[in-house]
Structure 1
Amino acid sequence: MGANKLFESNDRGNSWHEISGDLTRNIDRNKFKIMGKYWPAGAVAKDVSTSQWGTIVSLAESPVKEGLVVVGIDDGVIQITGDDGKTWNKTTQFPGVPEYTYVSDVFPSNFDENVIFASFNNTKSDDFNAYLLKTTDKGKTWTSIAGDLPKEPVHTVAQDPVNKNLLFAGTEFGFYFTLDGGHHWIKLGAGMPDIAVRDIAIQKEWKDLVIATFGRGFYILDDYSALRQLSADKLNNTKAILFPARDALMYIQQGDRYGTGSAWFQAPNPPFGANFTYYVKEVPQTLKQQRLKKEKELFKKGEPIPQPTKEELDKEKNETGPYFVFVIKNDKGEVVRRLYKPAAKGIHRVNWDLRYVSPQPVRLKNKEFNPLANGSDGMLALPGKYTVEMELYHNGQEKPLAGPVSFTAKVLHNTTLPANDRQALDAFFSEMSDLWRTMSGAQQYLNSLKTKTAYVQQAIQITPAATLAMKDKAQAVKEEIEKINYLFHGTPAKASFEEVPPEPMPLMKRLNEAVYASWQSTSAPTEMQKMNLKIVKDAMPDVLARIKKVDTELKTLDKELDALKAPYTPGRIPEL
């Protein structure tokens, strides 16, 4: 603990003892001029709202050398001891740093006891330059590693525990990292505002980077280990990189607390499942981007700009991609999921939530094809070994970019009733998903037939030459659809299902009970689930046959309507 002296506790803070004398400059601040004058004790607001001067404000112990302690003081002094405070080396002059500059942070190297990093902040003297220094001889000499940091006061500095050239710096307006020990700095600004970063912490086991800001809370970059793999040479000479992925932990997520109002705050958890970090140097431009770039250049030069033809505009409109495809395969080499992301250069992430794709009917947004839609989630995937590969899709061609990278989906040992045979559970999921696909698709198709039947009945009603037999046939089709729909859903409940009078259990209700019981569970299927699944599976062939018969009868009515030159109805192409 620091004051003007350094204190040590060997009993978790129960008692403290000095291990140094006064480590500051020990200068009376009243001997400095303020606004060009010396001020008496009675001056208005003298020393009010002013921090103490001559105080240790940064403190760190070397992780590689016991007894090596570094302190930074607000009067511009750095003191270093290598013997637990018995002797100290004092430095008051630093190259390029004004005297008395506040030592905002000190950081002994994770690799070499002779290397120490220090940041300085001279904001109180209207100096907003970035001061970041390094010593390789325990403070005897110092050199600047501020490199190309912008003109922003530096609050804190840290070094990666694996890659000695990977450094981090928190400034008044953001957070930066360097891959080359401080020559070139890169801002890490995605997802956070321009705010003062006052402290940095690294969770070594999970490789998480944590920063504390002034007034905007904490920010966590989960698994930043991809930065350790980078170098200036790799960034310049590699087209694409798919970084190693850490194990994906499998567990059942819990929902938020309910009804806490403003009494409970929590930040979002890291994305559940497998997270993949990737880097792409460049991505191909679309035809429209290429045209706009040429037009911009011609406009600047004041030269004529060719107008695009209709054919060229049509090509731009119909162009597909570019976008990234992440192909996930199991240990048998079978593709279990494809994930899509917009093509963008730089470092990005994509997440797989460890679920297979849903077998539910396809849904469109605004009735248009979306190449970036990943589909809804289905059942949990099987634990075990997987690989992920990265491809680029553009105009009908898929180009491999990076991978495969291996990762493991690993079950946490915290389940109450774990399935003894996960392979058997996965097989049950597969059987249930296939039945889910068939049944939900059949239900969707039945709904379309119901709508089509209404159009056909209306066309028969308004066509003068239509016969009574056609009306009766259409009505019979409508009633058959209602009967099949009853098998699926039963009698609609006014409020809740238990209010419906006793009747056969609807097939969709049985399937839902089987699916939802496993949706948030890793337990083996119950006998009730197996029973419900068997009942639905046995009933579906007859249901499908009845739906196909309805479809055939509607097509027959379509031909009769077209022969009578009836108005158009959906699903029927009018003949001349």
Structure 2
Amino acid sequence: VYVCSQHVHRSLGRGRPGTWQTISPDLSKADPGRIAESKLTNLQYATIYHFAESPVKPGVLWAGTDDGNLQMSPDAGVTWINITAKFYDNAGKLKKNHPQGAVLPYDRWVTRVEPSNHDVDVCYVTYSGYRTHSEDTSFIYVTRDGGKTWEDLSGGMGNPVRDIEEDPDNPNVLYLATDYGVYVTLDQGKNWMKLSSNEPDVIMMDMDIQARERDLAVASYGRGFWIVDIQPFKEFDKDLFEKDAYLFEPQRAVKWAMIERRGQSYGEFASTPNPPVEASFYFWLKNKVDKVKVVVKDLEGNELQSITGGKDPGLHKVTWSMRQPQPQDEDGGFRGRGRMVDAGTYLVCLMVGDEEVASQKVSVIDDPILNRY
């Protein structure tokens, strides 16, 4: 367990008393003027704002402070390297022999350090100048050599940045929480675009990715939080955009056992309804087409449902109810909706016009909680 102040503290005993040790010096600039100012306001300075350990190699530690220092330890805290000090002297002047590549800021607030899920030498760092310099500027950097040199990934954006997350399956894809919503890049920061067309332009404070389910959880400043399905992004690469049509690998679908329960308190009454029980399929179109369908079949080729999809260029989503076709009565009418399909594997086909252009298999499973009883 790690806890940070201006130092990094570590417990190898799950935080139990007597197991804590301090494994770093003061990693901040420790400016007496800033420290005195923090005692008079609600803004803290000279503290470690964000800390992270490499998921690739335990013991590779990164720390960013609210007064602009970026520090890195390659050996679990035995030694610390002040990355910022490689660029600036103690007075904040840029050194003539500073590292080549992008120049990191001196005294901006380090809002996030994000070691890569794929490469121990890669780490993303974001800064914000809004709190100290009233800047609407994006500071986004990446190192690919353990902090020796840096690249600017801002792509000309002008949004203060709060968080950055790397896709757990596709290192080309990055998600960015800013003061004006969430952005995504599919090409390592060369181009950024809004993640959703209907998300409000509000301050997004924090993000986290549930890697197994490929869900991006986004928390805003006072406007609640969102959970976004990022399943298709793991397959995005430059070759995909050259394809006329593409059907993404579906996420496994769960037949959740839904139980309606009336709340007995205000908190329960105010809860949000659960999403419908359905499977989601994503496809890509390079150009506008006349007709698109996604057809779900069993492995014997029997059609279960045909779903009309969007026809414009870009990414599209359709949903399958995971139900059998409606049964017919003796007079040729219908008797309500069909029952849920059995757990198993099904075939998903993308039809453009009358031609099948792609297919994938989707796994349907029962609610895991049903196996506990």
Higher helix share goes to which structure? 1
Residue 378 of structure 1 is aligned with which of 338, 358, 367?
A: 338
Which residue is equivalent to 2:215?
A: 208
Are positions 1:117 and 2:119 aligned together?
A: no
Q: Partner of 2:250 in structure 1?
A: 245
TM-score normalised over the length of structure 1: 0.56
- Provide the residue aligned with 1:332 in structure 2: 300
Structure 2 distance, partners of 1:78, 1:67, is 17
AA aligned to 2:82 is: K
Match of 2:98 in 1: none
State the alpha-carbon separation in 2 of the partners of residues 60 and 46 from structure 1.
Answer: 25
8 A Cα contact 1:24 1:73, kept in partner:
yes
Matched, 1:282 2:242: no
Letter in 2 for 1:140: K
Q: Deviations over 1:127-176 (max 9, x none)?
A: 1110001112222222211124x210111112122222222211111112
Q: Are 2:309 and 2:316, in contact at CA under 8 Å, matched by a contact in 1?
A: no
In structure 2, relative to structure 1, the CA distance for the partners of 1:86 and 1:157 (3 Å cut) is: same
> Structure 2: which 5+ residue stretches go unaligned?
89-101, 330-334
1:378 aligns to what SS in structure 2?
coil
Give the whole-Å Cα distance in 2 for the aligned partners of 1:20 and 1:2. Answer: 10
- Gap regions ≥5 residues in structure 1: 32-40, 285-321, 362-374, 393-397, 419-576
Q: Which has the higher strand share?
A: 2
Give 1:146's aligned amino acid: S
On the 8 A contact 1:357/1:376 being kept in 2, the answer is: no
- The structure with more radius of gyration: 1
Whole-angstrom CA distance in 1 between matches of 2:30 and 2:49: 15
Alpha-carbon spacing, 1:67–1:383, altered in 2? closer, same or farther (3 Å): closer
**C-alpha distance 263-6 of structure 1, shift in aligned 2 (>3 A):** same
| Equivalent in 81, 84, 108 of residue 89 of structure 1 | 81
The answer to whether structure 1 residue 137 and structure 2 residue 178 are counterparts is no
SS across alignment from 1:357:
coil
Q: Please give the per-residue CA displacement for 1:245-288, whole angstroms capped at 9, x wherever unaligned.
A: 1222234322243454454443444441321111222224xxxx
Secondary structure of the residue aligned to 2:4 is coil
TM-score normalised per structure 2: 0.84
Structure 1: which amino acid aligns with 2:138?
A
Distance 1:376 1:123 in 2: 57
The residue number in structure 1 matching 2:93 is: none
Structure 1 counterpart of 2:236, one-letter code: L
| Other structure's SS at 2:324 match | strand
Distance 1:251 1:6, change over 3 A: closer
The one-letter amino acid of 2:350's match is M
Q: Which structure is richer in relative contact order (CA contacts within 8 A, separation 6 or more)?
A: 2
| Paired residues for 1:16-415 under 5 Å | 16-29=20-33, 48-92=40-84, 93=87, 95-124=102-131, 125-148=133-156, 150-222=157-229, 224-235=230-241, 237-258=242-263, 260-284=265-289, 322-359=290-327, 377-392=337-352, 398-400=353-355, 402-412=357-367, 415=370
Conserved 8 A contact 2:122-2:146: yes
Secondary structure at 2:223 match in 1: coil
CA distance in 2, matches of 1:270, 1:278: 21
Offset, 1:121: 0.2
Residues 470-508 of structure 1, C-alpha deviation per residue, up to 9 Å, x if partnerless? xxxxxxxxxxxxxxxxxxxxxxxxxxxxxxxxxxxxxxx
Matched residue type, 1:18: T
SS of 2:189's partner is coil
C-alpha RMSD of the superposition: 2.7
Q: Which deviates the most, 377-386 or 174-183?
A: 377-386
CA contact (8 A) 1:246 1:407 kept: yes
Give the Cα separation in 2 of the matches to 1:359 and 1:169.
Answer: 47
Q: Is the 8 Å Cα contact of residues 29 and 53 (structure 1) preserved in structure 2? A: no
User: How many residues are matched?
Assistant: 347
CA distance in structure 2 between the aligned counterparts of 1:180 and 1:330, rounded to whole angstroms: 36
- Which AA in structure 2 matches 1:54? A
- C-alpha separation in 2, matches of 1:183 and 1:102: 23
How has the CA–CA distance of structure 1 residues 262 and 206 changed in structure 2, closer, same or farther, with 3 Å as cutoff? closer
